[in-house]
């Protein structure tokens, strides 16, 4: 399989050379053709800047950016075979849906009948074929998001960039659109590069993902690799809210004297378990309860399924886990 996008020691600095802000700092990255790739990280971690570097809206301070083997580091956005879907959708309010979708084809000089036919084809693809004559203000948030998708796809890009496109939707609609986006990407086979700060979006949609922190990639891998085998405290804590155990506690639990990760869902009430402490909080999650206890000066969270007997706040309990659930991390 060929490489769709490649970063070779790419940096993007802002501000004076004497004291630059390193938004992206010597990043190496490869994204396979046809992949659904997510860039995940907190605000200011560099993920959106990387997306803008791929689109051409930003230029690298150093390094090379290649799209399907071609160095596009100095290529303007309109000459790159990519399109972007923005968080605010950026639809033209005075145009109807059909004209919004066909706009890029109009700019390219395609005859009206042909561009309208392609626009209708894209609207059918996103299940909005009956909405072509409506204005964006007459649509729901989810429908506007689909129009923005259709407008980007009508230009037949080889890479589709998505800049937190679901951020403005409510939870239920966002989850529904996650399924639609994943299904659409699988049908089209286009490379999707998706930027988000939502770990659940990244884990549920992506084939592979990169976790960003302070302008660098902290870890890259499949969702299962990132979740189950975090390499650092940052990744373990950011992706899935793991229990991050200090070296002394890891050693007491039978592991080496290193930082470790222990997922809350891996823990269970066990009178003979090695984690004994005082319950300090109980939170209802709908599908279960999250309990927090303090042991050896460390707060430990555990997820108990719905219907499971619950301890009382202030009581002393013990938690157990399978040995394979304790993941030793490479980095502090």
Task: Give 21-62 pLDDT, tens digit per residue.
Answer: 999 999 999 999 999 999 999 999 999 999 999 999 999 999
* Torsion sign over Cα 139, 141, 145, 146: negative
Q: Residue ranges per domain, the chain?
A: 3-234, 243-328
Q: What is the pLDDT of residues 170-224, one digit of tens each?
A: 777 778 778 888 888 888 899 999 999 888 889 999 999 999 999 999 999 999 9
Question: Tokens representing 297?
Answer: 């000066």
What architecture is the 3-234 domain classified under in CATH? 3-Layer(aba) Sandwich (3.40)
Whether the Cβ atoms of residue 53 and residue 74 lie closer than 8 Å to each other = no
* Structural tokens at position 250: 């890891």
Whether 300 and 277 have beta carbons less than 8 Å apart is answered as yes
CA–CA separation, 299 vs 320, rounded Å? 15
**Beta-strand relationship, 36-40 and 191-196:** parallel
* H/E stretch holding 113: helix 112-125
Identify any residues that bridge with 275 across adjacent strands, giving them in sequence order.
319
pTM score of the predicted model: 0.87
Helix axes 112-125, 97-107, angle to 10 degrees: 130
Dihedrals φ, ψ of 293, to 5°?
-130, 155
Could you name the CATH architecture of 243-328? Beta Barrel (2.40)
**Cβ count near 281 (within 10 Å):** 12
């Amino acid at each position: 399989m060929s490489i769709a996008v490649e970063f070779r020691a790419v940096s993007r600095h802002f501000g004076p050379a004497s004291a630059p802000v390193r938004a992206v700092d010597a990043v190496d990255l490869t994204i396979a053709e046809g992949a659904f790739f997510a860039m995940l990280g907190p605000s200011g971690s560099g993920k959106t800047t990387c997306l803008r570097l791929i689109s051409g809206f930003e230029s690298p301070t150093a390094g090379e950016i290649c799209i399907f083997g071609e160095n596009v580091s100095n290529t303007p956005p309109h000459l790159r075979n990519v399109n972007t879907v923005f968080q605010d959708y950026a639809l033209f309010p005075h145009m109807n849906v059909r004209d919004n979708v066909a706009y890029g084809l109009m700019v390219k000089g395609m005859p009206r009948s042909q561009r309208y036919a392609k626009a209708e084809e894209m609207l059918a693809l996103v299940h909005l074929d009956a909405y072509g004559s409506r204005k964006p203000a007459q649509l729901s948030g989810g429908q506007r998001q689909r129009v923005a998708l259709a407008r980007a796809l009508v230009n037949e890009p080889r890479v589709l960039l998505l800049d937190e496109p679901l951020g403005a939707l409510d939870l239920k609609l966002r989850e529904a659109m996650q399924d639609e986006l994943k299904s659409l990407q699988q049908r089209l086979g286009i490379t999707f590069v998706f930027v988000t700060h939502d770990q659940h979006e990244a884990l549920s949609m992506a084939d592979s993902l990169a976790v960003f922190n302070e302008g660098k990639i902290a870890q890259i891998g499949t969702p299962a690799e990132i979740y189950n085998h975090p390499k650092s405290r940052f990744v373990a804590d950011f992706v899935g809210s793991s229990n991050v155990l200090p070296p002394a506690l890891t050693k007491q639990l039978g592991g080496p004297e290193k930082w470790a990760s222990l997922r809350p869902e891996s823990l269970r009430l066990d009178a003979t378990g090695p984690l004994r402490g005082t319950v300090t909080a109980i939170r209802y999650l709908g599908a279960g309860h999250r309990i927090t206890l303090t042991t050896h000066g460390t707060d430990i969270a555990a997820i108990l399924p719905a219907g499971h007997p619950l301890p009382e706040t202030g009581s002393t309990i013990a938690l157990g886990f399978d040995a394979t659930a304790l993941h030793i991390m490479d980095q502090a």
